[in-house]
């Protein structure tokens, strides 16, 4: 297993104006012919803010792939993820979802997981499965209206593993994307306090630290906390 960075979180999203608080390095993988800087999306900025609000000490490595319409190809995401692997990040935030399973994306995710990197991907609160959230080993996360900023829910459903603060729709980007970033930030905070922990230990610790257990209409007593993995 490859050694991870001290405290690096990779973000695959849209480009932002630099410098930006928390971002220590960035690289653009978007198609320059599809860029429109006069209509740059706020998605990437909002996602990074959600992560750094949860953990102000984190170093963010931004791999920008989205054009001004928040579109990209699976190949662009895979290339961005491969670059983040070379940056030795410990967690990668993927606040998006594709409707189809693409081999190039699946292979890239498997490579990151095999190296001990935590992948956190957005999943809608309802609807069909999306990728990479549905790949084995990927932490699926969505927005949870019960969660205030800094709070996490352990949903443990077919739709998503965790929920997080979904942001404020009146302020722009909100929902599953921001919820995913909120969960990623909580993982980063745990990783900073426990740098020796592996991905499965971080996941179990996040379950134990959750402010809510189960989906909103279920009793928390129905959700037993799993034991910590043996080292």
pLDDT at 105: 96
Between residues 15 and 222, which one has the greater pLDDT?
15
Alpha-carbon distance of 83 to 29, in angstroms, equals 10
Q: How far apart are the first and last CA of the chain?
A: 15
Give the domains, in start order, of the chain with CATH numbers: 8-222 (3.40.50.200)
- Asked if the model's pLDDT at residue 60 lies above 80, the reply is yes
Which tens digit of pLDDT belongs to each residue from 32-59?
654 554 445 689 999 999 999 999 999 9
Instruction: Output the pTM of the full model.
Output: 0.88
pLDDT at 1: 45
Q: What confidence score (pLDDT) does residue 33 get? A: 52
Tokens standing for residue 161: 């593993």
For β-strands 91-94 and 152-154, DSSP reports them as unpaired
Using N-to-C axis directions, what is the helix angle for 74-86 and 103-114, rounded to 10°? 20
Tell me the average pLDDT across 197-226: 80
pLDDT reported for residue 41: 61
Banded pLDDT at 225 (limits 50, 70, 90): very low
Separation between Cα atoms, residue 62 and residue 201, nearest integer Å: 25
């Amino acid at each position: 297993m490859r050694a991870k960075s001290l405290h690096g979180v990779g973000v695959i999203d849209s480009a932002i104006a630099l410098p930006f608080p928390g971002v220590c390095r960035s690289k653009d993988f978007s198609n320059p012919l599809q860029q429109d800087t006069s209509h740059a999306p706020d998605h990437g900025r909002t996602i990074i803010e959600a992560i750094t609000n949860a953990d102000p000490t984190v170093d963010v490595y931004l791999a920008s792939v989205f054009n001004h319409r928040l579109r990209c190809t699976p190949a662009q995401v895979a290339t961005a993820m491969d670059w983040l692997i070379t940056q030795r990040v410990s967690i990668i935030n993927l606040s998006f979802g594709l409707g189809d399973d693409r081999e190039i994306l699946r292979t890239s995710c498997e490579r990151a997981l095999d190296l001990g990197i935590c992948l956190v991907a957005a999943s809608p609160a309802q609807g069909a499965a999306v990728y990479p959230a549905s790949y084995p080993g990927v932490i699926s996360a969505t927005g949870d209206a019960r969660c205030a900023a800094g709070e996490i829910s352990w949903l443990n459903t077919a739709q998503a593993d965790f929920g997080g603060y979904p942001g404020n729709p009146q302020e722009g980007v909100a929902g599953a994307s921001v919820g995913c970033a909120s969960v990623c930030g909580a993982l980063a905070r745990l990783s900073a306090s426990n740098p020796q922990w592996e991905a499965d230990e971080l996941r179990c610790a996040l379950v134990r630290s959750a402010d809510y257990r189960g989906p909103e209409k279920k009793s928390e007593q129905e959700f037993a906390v799993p034991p910590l993995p043996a080292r």
